[in-house]
Amino acid sequence: MNCSKGVASYRAACEVRCAKGYKLEGDARLSCQADKQWSGIQPRCVEVRCPPMVTLRNVLLSPPACGQRKVKPGTLCRLACRHGYRLQGDLEARCLSSGDWSANIHKATCKGNKM
């Protein structure tokens, strides 16, 4: 927290920033009010994560955690199809430091092989 008066005294305006790998939830700018309370919603820094992948039918994920929970930036997830199908779309996606996936995983589909 960085405050305009150096300390968090009445009418001090303070700005909150998060360390790399974290994102801010709540108000980035607060001021100390006469009642000794902060204005706005108390901020907090939460670790950046990518949401679980949501894929279409027959698309398999490796590791399975990619589709079950949020994962850390840098995590590499591979996409494949069940036996008898072939993948159309990206074969892998990486969780970026922004909390987004590197590939458009929602467009990955498995098409049946023609016999």
How far from chain centre, in Å, is Cα 35?
A: 36
Q: Check: pTM over 0.85? Answer yes or no.
A: no
- Kindly report, residue by residue over 58-114, the tens digit of the pLDDT: 889 999 999 999 999 999 999 999 888 999 989 999 999 999 999 888 888 898 875
Q: What share of the chain is helix, strand, coil (3-state, %, to 5)?
A: 5, 35, 55
Please, are residues 98 and 111 in contact by the beta-carbon 8 Å criterion?
no
The alpha carbon torsion through 87, 91, 96, 99 (nearest 10 deg) reads 20
Which domains are seen in the chain, by residue range?
Answer: 1-47 (2.10.70.10), 59-112 (2.10.70.10)
